[in-house]
């Protein structure tokens, strides 16, 4: 029988990410009791029906009571309000982590709520997901062989770091550690910018008079590139606002390069085009796996 890594887990926000975490931990038999928290009772009832959680609460302070691990999986804009509800019942034995895509925003929210950030807070971010949302879309294998970034703070205890690391490793994730600032800059380039491009392209085409014909003729490449434009708009609004500085910097850099590409097309500069495409192909082949 496997030793339980977590005796009582609370997941605040039982959607794709939180639900998949619960499923993976249950499948690995490393968690005891799982309690879910959310605003919509019907969603929580569905999560219980699916066996993702064992029971649920609407009140955060009641849900986290006696929990040794609390995972906050809510939109970044709601992070501070959740932390504020945890403050009165926070204990030294309660490890607190999250799954937010912009770690600087999470740290600011914790600072505002707790004043003194708890030693048991360990920010984290799974580099995994789909364009689907909701607990119905969750599955235990979501994190298998996927990267999970933890960004411990100077105040984070070694015990808390080890427990959060072990939790995600039990899900099959490859856990790496970096700083808050480095995480946010890298994610602005590799995740946040691509989502902005997909959203923007689809929105541009959807506003054109010939949009019906355009989408009728859309082939596989268009669908592959724009798949992430089906992601949760509320979540991505919060990510933009939370990681704005790093994201705007990447958008400006991409815009400059896109203008150079436009100029080359306008000027029939075949050399520039071929060099750009070759450089991009080589980088994609070297660093990305299909």
pLDDT in tens, 72-111: 999 999 999 999 999 999 999 999 999 999 999 999 999 9
Q: Are strands 147-150 and 124-126 parallel, antiparallel or unpaired?
A: antiparallel
In a domain, 107, yes or no: yes
Same-domain status, 116 and 83 = yes
Asked if residue 199 has pLDDT above 90, the reply is yes
| Mean pLDDT, residues 245-272 taken together | 97
Burial 134-144 (b: 16+ CB within 10 A, else e): ebebbbbebbe
Same-domain status, 21 and 154 = yes
In a domain, 229, yes or no: yes
Query: Residue 222: what pLDDT?
Result: 85
Query: Residue 93: what pLDDT?
Result: 93
In a domain, 166, yes or no: yes
**Of 143, 178, 213, which residue constitutes the final position of a domain?**
178
Same-domain status, 20 and 76 = yes
pLDDT in tens, 139-175: 999 999 999 999 999 999 999 999 999 999 999 999 9
Query: Residue 2: what pLDDT?
Result: 62
Contact 68, 162 (CB under 8 A): no
CATH of the domain at 149: 3.40.50.720
In a domain, 174, yes or no: yes
**Of 178, 195, 216, which residue constitutes the final position of a domain?**
178
Same-domain status, 102 and 220 = no
Q: How far apart are CA 11 and CA 66, in angstroms?
A: 13
Query: Residue 277: what pLDDT?
Result: 95
Q: Which residues contact 129 (CB under 8 A, 6 or more apart)?
A: 16, 17, 142
In a domain, 1, yes or no: no
Instruction: Provide the residue range defining the domain that includes 242.
Output: 183-287
Same-domain status, 189 and 171 = no
Same-domain status, 76 and 110 = yes
**Of 178, 194, 216, which residue constitutes the final position of a domain?**
178
3-state DSSP assignment of residue 173: coil
| Mean pLDDT, residues 1-29 taken together | 92
Same-domain status, 208 and 166 = no
pLDDT in tens, 259-281: 999 999 999 999 999 999 999 99
pTM: 0.86
In a domain, 81, yes or no: yes
Query: Residue 216: what pLDDT?
Result: 79
CATH of the domain at 204: 1.10.3660.10
Q: Are strands 69-72 and 6-12 parallel, antiparallel or unpaired?
A: parallel
Query: Residue 6: what pLDDT?
Result: 97
DSSP single-letter state for residue 84: H
Q: What is the dihedral of CA 160, 164, 166, 170, to 10 degrees?
A: 160
Same-domain status, 190 and 108 = no
Query: Within the chain, what is the greatest distance between any pair of CA atoms?
Result: 69
DSSP single-letter state for residue 192: I
In a domain, 71, yes or no: yes
Asked if residue 60 has pLDDT above 90, the reply is yes
3-state DSSP assignment of residue 45: helix
Same-domain status, 150 and 45 = yes
Degrees (nearest 5) of the Cα angle 260, 263, 267?
140
Same-domain status, 210 and 232 = yes
Domains of the chain: total: 2
| Average pLDDT of the chain to the nearest whole number | 93
Q: How far apart are CA 196 and CA 95, in angstroms?
A: 33
Same-domain status, 29 and 118 = yes
In a domain, 20, yes or no: yes
Same-domain status, 35 and 155 = yes
Q: How far apart are CA 58 and CA 41, in angstroms?
A: 8
Which strand (E) or helix (H) includes residue 289? none
């Amino acid at each position: 029988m496997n030793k339980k890594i977590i005796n009582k887990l609370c997941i605040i926000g039982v959607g794709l990410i939180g639900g998949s975490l619960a499923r993976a931990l249950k499948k690995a038999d490393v968690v005891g009791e799982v309690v879910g928290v959310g605003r919509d009772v019907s969603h929580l009832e569905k999560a219980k029906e699916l066996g993702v959680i064992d029971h649920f609460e609407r009140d955060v302070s009641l849900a986290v009571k006696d929990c040794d691990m609390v995972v906050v999986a809510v939109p970044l804009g709601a992070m501070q309000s959740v932390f504020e509800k945890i403050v009165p019942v926070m204990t030294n034995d309660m490890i607190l982590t999250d799954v937010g895509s912009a770690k600087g925003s999470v740290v600011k929210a914790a600072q505002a709520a707790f004043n003194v950030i708890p030693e048991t807070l360990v920010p984290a971010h799974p580099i995994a997901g789909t364009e689907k949302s909701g607990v119905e879309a969750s599955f235990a294998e979501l994190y298998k062989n996927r990267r999970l970034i933890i960004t411990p703070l100077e105040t984070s205890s070694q015990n808390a770091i080890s427990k959060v690391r072990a939790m995600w490793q039990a899900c099959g994730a490859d856990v790496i550690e970096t700083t808050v600032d480095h995480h946010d800059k890298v994610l602005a380039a590799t995740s946040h910018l691509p989502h902005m491009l997909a959203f923007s392209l689809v929105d541009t085409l959807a506003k054109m008079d010939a949009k019906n014909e355009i989408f009728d003729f859309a082939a596989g490449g268009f669908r592959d590139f724009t798949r992430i434009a089906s992601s949760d708009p509320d979540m991505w609004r919060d990510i933009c606002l939370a990681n704005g500085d790093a994201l705007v910097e990447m958008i400006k850099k991409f815009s400059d390069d896109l203008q150079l590409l436009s100029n080359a097309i306008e000027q029939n500069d075949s050399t520039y085009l071929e060099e750009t495409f070759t450089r991009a192909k080589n980088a994609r082949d070297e660093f990305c796996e299909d």
